[in-house]
Amino acid sequence: MEPVISTSRHSITFRMTVTICAFLILFQIILAVLTLVYLKRELKQVVSSQQFNLLTVVTQNIDQKLTSSLKHIADVSRLVTPEMVHDDNAAQRFLDNLPGTHSLFDNGLFLFSPEGKLIAESPYRPNRRGRDISFRDYFKRAVTLGQPTISEPYVSTHTPGAPSIIFTAPVRDKSGKLIALLGGSLNLLQDNFLGELSRTRIAATGYLYIITRNRILIMHPDKSRIMQVSEPPGSNKLFDEALNGFEGTEENSNSRGLKSLASLKHLNAIDWFVGANYPLDEAYAPIWYMQKYFLLLIAVGSAFVIIVVRVMMERFTSTLVRFADHVKNISAKHGEERLFITDSDDEIGILAQTFNTMIQLEDQKSEELVHASTHDALTGLYNRAYFDSELERLARGRQLPISVVVADIDGLKRCNDSIGHAAGDTLIRATAQVLLESFRTEDIVARIGGDEFAVLLPGVDMAQMQMALERVRSAEAKVVPIDGGCQLSISLGYTTSKTPDGLQEAFKQADRKMYHDKAQRKQSKAFGARKHAVV
């Protein structure tokens, strides 16, 4: 006679196979996600470090060239004589015979009078001598500072419409009087040492740029954006942070919606910023490729897991049936019942042991979370949230009468200020101990504020509450003063509610009585101190 095959046995095997496979596949996915997150973080850190190091080198190079250019124009300014200032042709010849300076300042050299009149410029432009440029911000700033300066960007008239910056240096006579201003201008659209920056690429599409504190672009690969206000306030979080001193690399979105790995660093020579943008889709491209490989590995791994688990389930079905039934009903079990007992020492036994360990840890964490969510960490009493929930629960019930006590530590701030917060914490814990000793275990004793406590006494009338308060005063008197002279003193307010809907008002009334008690105790102490002083 052929053995009867149990269909339920095969059904359970199938379900267990699906469950475990789903778990293992989910584990693979979570592991893959965590791995990708870790790799992305590491890649971001490496790329960010490399990008900021590049930006640091670029910034140092620009600072060096700005400083060198400013020094050069200052050195040339010392060669200008008073005769040149008063003879525009002599000044023209002098400017024309500075080939090295011309190679540095590609938008021309200029000599201005102290009043802002153009004495000479090179290359020469007809009908421009005597032009008044005193309205220019760079002229005003240079005359005011009286030292070599670098201007903010402006639109040049020497090269009409060209965005430019100018390096200026004062020209003085032997007495130190300002007799002229020498300037050398850079065309921001030309391939000078600033223009070179626009051709620098980070990988394929990343780029560098320079922006002023006033949010005006000085250098950018897109020449049409130069001299434009690039980042209105609030449109670029990283730049807003840079204005407040930030230097570094973060993921960022600029005013045009470009999501990039962005870096910003401040120039030392002038109040400008050098920035770098590395589009995220390019910066994280290796991660996108890796995701495809991970999907393939997950698919292959999942197929392998299904086959292996199916074979194992066929061998260990009998034990798994019991284990599955245990897991199915686990929510209805408590304590030791939640543990799966088996004498198996094979893989199922290990699985059972692991399950038991997980259950114990889960139960422990659940108990800790419940305790932490309802108790005050310093005193071990119930916290304000639990007190409020109990207040609402009792207000909906019929457990009458309900008494309420509100307690507050007198002079806690003075104790904290004079001895220290450790002493204050000791007073708080002592108060908690006094209250716990004075009230029943079924009473709800809570710390509802820094130095404020409250107690709910279900089924307790005024007479019973008075007895409990006497126990509070007795226990309070037994507390030994803290080193430094802080003596425990508790102000109390109390009342009894005979109706559930009056419980909230009873709590408020007890709170008011507590403050009244505090005022009386304070007045009594003051009177005692005055009486003692008179005696």
Say what angle helices 7-77 and 285-315 make with each other, to 10 degrees. 160
Burial status of residue 318 (CB atoms within 10 A of its CB: 0-12, 13-18, 19 or more): exposed
Q: Which residues of the chain have pLDDT under 50?
A: 1-9, 529, 531-535
Report cis status (omega within 30 of 0) of the bond before 232.
no
Can you tell me which residue has the tokens 């709590």? 507
Extract the tokens encoding 432.
């908690």
CB 167 within 8 A of CB 108: no
Provide the β-strand partners of residue 382: 375, 446
Report whether 380 contacts 484 (CB < 8 A).
Answer: no
The single-letter DSSP state of residue 511 is H
pLDDT tens digits for range 412-459: 888 888 888 888 898 899 999 999 999 999 999 999 998 899 999 999
Assign domain 195-285 to its CATH superfamily.
Answer: PAS domain (3.30.450.20)
* Residue 276: strand, helix, or coil: strand
Structural domain spans, the chain: 78-185, 195-285, 384-534
At 467, give phi and psi (nearest 5°): -65, -40
pLDDT of residue 527: 56
Say what the pLDDT of residue 526 is. Answer: 62
User: Does the bond joining 401 to the residue before it have cis omega, within 30 degrees of 0?
Assistant: yes
Predicted TM-score of the model (pTM): 0.52
Please report the pLDDT score of residue 2 as a whole number. 40
Q: CATH top-level class for 78-185?
A: alpha beta
Report the residue count for the chain.
Answer: 535
Phi first, then psi: what are they for 120, rounded to 5°? -160, 155
User: Alpha carbon of 483 to those of 398, 412, 426, 427: distances in Å?
Assistant: 47, 14, 11, 11
Question: Would you tell me how many other CB atoms lie within 10 Å of the CB of residue 460?
Answer: 24
The DSSP bridge pattern shows strands 178-187 and 201-202 to be unpaired
Cα angle, residue 255 at apex, residues 263 and 262 outer, rounded to 5°: 10
Residue written as tokens 């300076």? Answer: 101
The class (CATH top level) of 384-534 is: alpha beta
pLDDT digits (tens, 9 = 90+) for 255-289: 788 888 999 999 998 999 999 998 988 888 888 88
CB 248 within 8 A of CB 274: no
User: Do 78-185 and 195-285 have matching folds?
Assistant: yes
Pull the structure tokens for residue 156.
């040049």
CA 138/CA 157 separation, integer angstroms: 14
What's the pLDDT score for residue 530?
A: 52
Sign, Cα dihedral of 307, 312, 314, 315? positive
Report the Cα 292 to chain-centroid distance in Å: 32
pLDDT given at position 143:
93
Q: Are 330 and 338 in contact (CB under 8 A)?
A: yes
Whole-number pLDDT of residue 364: 80
- When computed from its CA atoms, the radius of gyration of the chain, rounded to whole angstroms, is 41
Tracing tokens 């640091």 back to the chain, one arrives at 56
Q: Is 349 exposed, middle or buried (0-12, 13-18, 19+ CB in 10 A)?
A: middle
Residues 164-200 have pLDDT tens digits of 999 999 999 999 999 999 999 999 988 888 888 888 8
Do residues 356 and 348 touch, judged by C-beta distance below 8 A? no
Report how far apart the first and last C-alpha atoms of the chain are (Å, whole number). Answer: 113
For the CA atoms of 31, 34, 35, 36, the dihedral, rounded to the nearest 10 degrees, stands at 120
